[in-house]
Copies of this chain bind each other. A is one copy, B any other.
Amino acid sequence: MKRLPSLEKLNTSYLFFEIEKRKRRFLCDHPNVDIVDLGIGDTIFPLPSSIAKAMEKGAFDLSQEEGYSGYGQAQGMVRLRQILATNIYHEKITPDEIFISDGAKCDIGRLQILFNNARSVGLQDPTYPVYLDGSMIQGIPKVYHLPCIPDNGFLPHLPPKLDLLYICNPNNPTGMVYNHEQLQRLIDYAKKNHTIILVDSTYSSYIQDSALPRSIYEIQGAHEVAIEINSFSKMVGFSGVRLGWTVLPKELTFECGRPVWPDWHRLYCTIFNGASNIAQKGGIAVFTCEKWRENICYYMKNASYLKQAFQKSGYAVYGGENAPYLWVSIPNHRSWDVFQYFLEKKRVIITPGVGYGSSGEHFIRVSSFNRFQKVQDAADRIDSSLVQGKNFISKAIEV
């Protein structure tokens, strides 16, 4: 058995491993230092008790004669799919078009199998690294990195004839969200070019502006070209519980006009066996609970506070209004240097933008997933030294 050639080209270290390594090394040299972690992309609040209770009951029921169940439908519990169809898609999507998963990342991996014969793939640059890594593992011959920068309003210029286009919306890391018109442009492109758009909507519940679409299916024609991936992770804090979903509309077709749905269903049942039934019981309880919406407000208050702090010090800041991430422009400095600067001089962890693509160089991602007090601490430490372009790093740091 030979090694998969595409694996040779992958970075050995995943972005967050590298951050963790550097953090640990620093704490080893400086124990007892109080670090504020704004690098983290994970929720911090306990689950609302009504949701936890639903899962406790789910686990208990499995120990009862009348409550036990083994394999469920690979596609997920009908009740949960109905709830999502109603609450998220307002019946613009049918339960049959929803596939319950163990999280967005895992479904992206499965979709990459379904589309592993794509000749070309377009990725926003910067974006969540898994789209690129997975495409490389699948050996996609041509990957376009499409710069999404302030100059183009973070809407990429698209090359002709992409087979597949990944759109992370709200975007991780930039926190930017497309409006109706921008999404319509992507859909029009996809229709013209027989492109399938994979929309990762993991952060859609953070959209505050009611004028912005929360799902691509609010836009005309999306059902014919777009697959939407979503998750309970950032929404209610299920990142450890593992629950998400993917929408694959029945109108979606391959170039030849054949629907994609039967292939996806077949593949889904072949290499997946459904999300945990206990987790699904938790998912069913989500929409009769309001507490998690408060948590989202809390994080967005953090985001707003941090945004003001950076702006006050003279930084250009993007995002942070409809997503839990700020995207802070730091020209003149390499983003890993900025990471090191924030770690060593400010005791704050941020995420270097270049970890999300080369267009992320000279930016950092700042997360609002932390306690407000910590966020205040970090905000207090922000000053304008980087804006003034001081040569703060004594020696180059090798990445």
Contact = CB atoms under 8 A, between A and B. Distances in A.
Contact of A47 (B45, B63, B137): B63
Given A59-B52, A273-B105, A115 B1 contact: yes
A80 interface: no
Contacts of A282: 59
Contacts of A69: 240
A105 B272 contact: yes
A298 to B, nearest CB: 14
A297 interface: no
A70 B42 contact: yes
Contacts of A277: 240-242
Number of chain copies forming the complex: 2
A86 to B, nearest CB: 24
A274 B117 contact: no
Interface stretch (A3-11, A175-183, A337-345): A3-11
Interface string A195-234: 1100000000000000000000000000000000000010
B254 A3 contact: yes
Contacts of A242: 102, 273-277
Nearest to A108: B271
A182 to B, nearest CB: 22
Interface string A4-28: 1101001010100000000000000
A117 to B, nearest CB: 5
Report the contact-size class of chain A (Cβ under 8 Å from the partner): 35 or more
Interface stretch (A259-267, A324-332, A384-392): A259-267
A330 B237 CA distance: 54
A287 interface: no
A109 B56 contact: no
A35 interface: no
A3 B256 contact: yes
A112 B271 contact: yes
Given A137-B113, A239-B71, A1 B63 contact: no
A5 to B, nearest CB: 7
A117 B8 CA distance: 13
B59 A278 contact: yes
Contacts of A278: 55, 59, 241, 276, 278-279
B62 A59 contact: no
A227 to B, nearest CB: 11
A258 interface: yes
Interface string A274-304: 1111110010000000000000000000000
Nearest to A105: B273
A103 interface: yes
A345 to B, nearest CB: 28
Contacts of A192: none
A134 B279 contact: no
Given A106-B272, A254-B1, A266-B12, A46 B72 contact: no
Contacts of A3: 254-256, 258, 260, 263
A78 interface: no
A166 to B, nearest CB: 13
A185 to B, nearest CB: 19
Contacts of A263: 3-4, 7
Interface string A34-48: 000000001111111
A14 B59 contact: no
Most chain B beta-carbon contacts within 10 A, residue among A1, A102, A271: A1
11 contacts: A1-B118, A1-B164, A2-B256, A7-B266, A43-B70, A46-B62, A46-B67, A62-B237, A103-B273, A106-B273, A240-B274
